[in-house]
Amino acid sequence: MTLSKAQFRETRERCGISQQMLASRAGVKVLSVKRWEKPGEAEPPADVQAWLESMLTQHVEAVEAALDAVDGIEEVQGNPPDHVDLLYYRSQAHYDTYGRDEGDYAIVNARSREIAAILEAQGIEARFRYPEDDEAGFQRLANTR
Protein backbone atom coordinates (compact mmCIF):
# COMPACT_ATOMS: atom_id res chain seq x y z
CA MET A 1 0.00 0.00 0.00
CA THR A 2 1.38 3.40 -0.95
CA LEU A 3 0.56 6.29 1.35
CA SER A 4 -0.19 9.72 -0.04
CA LYS A 5 2.11 12.48 1.22
CA ALA A 6 -0.61 13.66 3.61
CA GLN A 7 -1.17 10.11 4.88
CA PHE A 8 2.58 9.60 5.24
CA ARG A 9 2.89 12.70 7.44
CA GLU A 10 -0.28 11.95 9.40
CA THR A 11 0.91 8.41 10.07
CA ARG A 12 4.34 9.61 11.19
CA GLU A 13 2.82 12.19 13.53
CA ARG A 14 0.13 9.82 14.85
CA CYS A 15 2.82 7.32 15.80
CA GLY A 16 4.90 9.98 17.59
CA ILE A 17 7.74 9.77 15.09
CA SER A 18 9.54 13.05 14.48
CA GLN A 19 11.06 13.96 11.13
CA GLN A 20 14.49 13.65 12.79
CA MET A 21 13.69 10.18 14.13
CA LEU A 22 12.50 9.03 10.71
CA ALA A 23 15.54 10.53 9.00
CA SER A 24 17.86 8.73 11.41
CA ARG A 25 16.00 5.45 10.90
CA ALA A 26 16.14 5.85 7.10
CA GLY A 27 19.75 7.03 7.05
CA VAL A 28 18.92 10.33 5.36
CA LYS A 29 18.85 14.01 6.27
CA VAL A 30 15.75 15.65 7.70
CA LEU A 31 15.45 17.62 4.47
CA SER A 32 14.72 14.34 2.66
CA VAL A 33 11.84 13.58 5.04
CA LYS A 34 10.48 17.10 4.52
CA ARG A 35 10.58 16.50 0.76
CA TRP A 36 8.80 13.17 1.12
CA GLU A 37 5.94 15.03 2.82
CA LYS A 38 5.78 17.98 0.42
CA PRO A 39 3.51 17.78 -2.63
CA GLY A 40 5.42 17.67 -5.91
CA GLU A 41 8.64 16.48 -4.29
CA ALA A 42 10.32 13.06 -4.08
CA GLU A 43 8.36 10.06 -2.89
CA PRO A 44 9.55 8.16 0.19
CA PRO A 45 11.31 4.89 -0.60
CA ALA A 46 9.21 1.74 -0.39
CA ASP A 47 11.20 0.38 2.57
CA VAL A 48 10.58 3.58 4.55
CA GLN A 49 6.86 3.44 3.75
CA ALA A 50 6.78 -0.22 4.80
CA TRP A 51 8.55 0.58 8.08
CA LEU A 52 6.16 3.45 8.81
CA GLU A 53 3.17 1.22 8.07
CA SER A 54 4.56 -1.41 10.47
CA MET A 55 4.93 1.30 13.12
CA LEU A 56 1.29 2.26 12.55
CA THR A 57 0.25 -1.37 13.00
CA GLN A 58 2.16 -1.53 16.29
CA HIS A 59 0.60 1.76 17.39
CA VAL A 60 -2.94 0.62 16.63
CA GLU A 61 -2.39 -2.74 18.34
CA ALA A 62 -1.04 -1.02 21.48
CA VAL A 63 -3.95 1.41 21.59
CA GLU A 64 -6.47 -1.41 21.08
CA ALA A 65 -4.83 -3.50 23.82
CA ALA A 66 -5.13 -0.60 26.26
CA LEU A 67 -8.77 -0.05 25.34
CA ASP A 68 -9.43 -3.79 25.74
CA ALA A 69 -7.94 -3.54 29.25
CA VAL A 70 -10.37 -0.72 30.05
CA ASP A 71 -13.23 -2.88 28.72
CA GLY A 72 -12.01 -5.63 31.06
CA ILE A 73 -12.30 -3.25 34.00
CA GLU A 74 -15.84 -2.46 32.94
CA GLU A 75 -16.71 -6.17 32.75
CA VAL A 76 -15.38 -6.78 36.27
CA GLN A 77 -16.94 -3.68 37.85
CA GLY A 78 -20.17 -3.80 35.87
CA ASN A 79 -19.70 -0.20 34.76
CA PRO A 80 -16.97 1.82 33.08
CA PRO A 81 -14.30 3.35 35.31
CA ASP A 82 -14.74 7.02 36.14
CA HIS A 83 -11.14 7.64 35.11
CA VAL A 84 -8.10 5.87 33.70
CA ASP A 85 -4.50 6.72 34.58
CA LEU A 86 -2.10 6.76 31.62
CA LEU A 87 1.67 6.87 31.87
CA TYR A 88 3.42 9.86 30.36
CA TYR A 89 7.12 10.66 30.12
CA ARG A 90 8.90 14.02 30.28
CA SER A 91 11.87 13.19 28.06
CA GLN A 92 13.88 10.34 26.58
CA ALA A 93 16.07 10.26 29.70
CA HIS A 94 12.92 10.00 31.83
CA TYR A 95 11.68 7.10 29.70
CA ASP A 96 15.10 5.43 29.83
CA THR A 97 14.83 5.49 33.63
CA TYR A 98 11.22 4.34 33.96
CA GLY A 99 10.19 2.76 30.64
CA ARG A 100 9.90 -0.95 30.19
CA ASP A 101 11.83 -1.22 26.96
CA GLU A 102 14.37 0.63 24.86
CA GLY A 103 11.73 2.46 22.86
CA ASP A 104 11.27 6.13 22.22
CA TYR A 105 9.27 8.18 24.71
CA ALA A 106 7.57 10.18 21.95
CA ILE A 107 6.06 6.98 20.54
CA VAL A 108 4.78 5.90 23.95
CA ASN A 109 3.38 9.36 24.67
CA ALA A 110 1.62 9.42 21.28
CA ARG A 111 -0.11 6.17 22.21
CA SER A 112 -1.17 7.58 25.57
CA ARG A 113 -2.58 10.70 23.89
CA GLU A 114 -4.60 8.64 21.41
CA ILE A 115 -5.92 6.38 24.17
CA ALA A 116 -6.89 9.46 26.18
CA ALA A 117 -8.75 10.99 23.23
CA ILE A 118 -10.75 7.80 22.65
CA LEU A 119 -11.56 7.40 26.35
CA GLU A 120 -12.61 11.04 26.66
CA ALA A 121 -14.92 10.56 23.65
CA GLN A 122 -16.48 7.64 25.57
CA GLY A 123 -16.99 9.84 28.63
CA ILE A 124 -14.13 8.35 30.63
CA GLU A 125 -11.66 10.81 32.14
CA ALA A 126 -8.02 10.16 31.21
CA ARG A 127 -5.35 11.28 33.67
CA PHE A 128 -1.73 11.47 32.62
CA ARG A 129 0.68 10.30 35.32
CA TYR A 130 4.44 10.45 35.58
CA PRO A 131 5.87 7.13 36.80
CA GLU A 132 7.62 8.59 39.83
CA ASP A 133 4.43 10.26 41.11
CA ASP A 134 3.15 6.95 42.46
CA GLU A 135 5.58 4.02 42.42
CA ALA A 136 2.94 1.40 43.28
CA GLY A 137 0.58 2.79 40.66
CA PHE A 138 3.41 2.84 38.15
CA GLN A 139 4.09 -0.84 38.76
CA ARG A 140 0.39 -1.57 38.19
CA LEU A 141 0.19 0.55 35.04
CA ALA A 142 3.42 -0.49 33.42
CA ASN A 143 3.76 -4.02 34.77
CA THR A 144 7.52 -3.51 34.70
CA ARG A 145 10.66 -4.10 36.72
Convert the pLDDT of each residue in 96-114 to its tens digit: 988 878 889 999 999 999 9
Convert the pLDDT of each residue in 35-51 to its tens digit: 999 999 999 999 999 99
Domains and CATH numbers, the chain: 1-77 (1.10.260), 82-145 (no CATH)
Q: What is the pTM of this model?
A: 0.88
Q: Is the pLDDT of residue 1 over 80?
A: no
Asked whether 17 and 48 are in contact (CB, 8 A), the reply is no
Beta strands, E only, the chain: 83-87, 125-129
58-69 average pLDDT score: 96
Position 140 scores a pLDDT of 60
In 3-state terms, what secondary structure has residue 65?
helix
